Amino acid sequence: MRQLLDKIEARQRLVRETAERLREQIAELTGQLAAAERTLERLETTCETVLELATEDGTPPPEPLPSGYREILALFERNGDGLRARDVCRTLGTGTEPRHTDGRAKLKRLVNRSILTEPEPGLFTLTPLPPTTPETDSN
């Protein structure tokens, strides 16, 4: 009978240690979640402020891009030299065969919105921002 009680005590110690480690992980994750939520709140406030300022200047607010388009733009922001359509499609997992047209169609739509340029067939780059001058900086 003593052996059985010793096993139970050993199991209790193990479970207590596991519970303590889990509490520590929960506390750490709770802190990380709170930080992420604060960052998200700041970004949302920044976005709202930018849209308000654009409206005050009479500039129509930009239409928000769906997430698939934001993913494409993030690829271009990381690679300033431009990307081939097949590389974008491969990265997004949309397929690189001619029958897989979704990725290419999104790239073409971004070209039509003047967000991307296509300097040669199949090669896409971010549209360069106009140079700033003292006149445009003071507005």
> Using N-to-C axis directions, what is the helix angle for 67-78 and 85-92, rounded to 10°?
120
Q: What mean pLDDT comes out for the span 85-97?
A: 77
Q: Which residues of 64-100 are buried (b: 16+ CB within 10 A; e: fewer)?
A: ebeeebeebeeebeeeeebbebebbbeeeebeeeeee
Radius of gyration of the chain (CA): 26
> How sure is the predictor about 13, in pLDDT bands with cuts at 50, 70 and 90?
very high
> How sure is the predictor about 135, in pLDDT bands with cuts at 50, 70 and 90?
low
pLDDT for 75: 82
The span from the CA of 73 to the CA of 16, in Å, is 48
Q: Percent of the chain scored above 70 by pLDDT?
A: 85
Q: What mean pLDDT comes out for the span 107-132?
A: 81
What digits encode the pLDDT tens for the residues 17-73? 999 999 999 999 999 999 989 988 898 888 788 878 877 877 776 677 777 788 888
**What is the identity of the amino acid at 51?**
L
Q: What mean pLDDT comes out for the span 104-132?
A: 81
The span from the CA of 72 to the CA of 139, in Å, is 31
